[in-house]
Amino acid sequence: MATVSPAPEYHVEAKRMLKTGSAGRVYDWPIHLAEETWVDIEALVEAFTRAIEIHKSKGDVDPKMLIKTIGEARAIARHGRPCSKQVGINQNRPLQKSN
């Protein structure tokens, strides 16, 4: 896995890996960490998916929610804000201006 140097240590308890916000539509940790400038988003995605594989006994993973979480985390890392607040975003195309 790649890392940003110097790599800060960041620990998340296994039982909190699948925590969701009040809306319950994405997993919190990737979204939260994607907002940090020191995070390499692809390394985070790799680490998060591996961690939930290792700690799968701590909770059930919703595959659709995981895909949505990863997409939103990548959008946040690229654009600096949640894609739900952006107009005209499509994860398969660049950000478009709205008229």
Task: Check residue 94 and give its pLDDT.
Answer: 42
Residue 79 above 70 pLDDT? yes
Please tell me whether the overall predicted TM-score, pTM, comes out greater than 0.85 for this model.
no
6 preceded by cis ω (within 30°)? yes
Q: Considering only residues 88 and 11, tell me which one the structure prediction assigns the higher pLDDT.
A: 11
Q: In the predicted model, is pLDDT for residue 91 greater than 60?
A: no
Label residue 2 by pLDDT band (50, 70, 90). low
- Tens digits of residue pLDDT in 59-71: 788 999 999 999 9
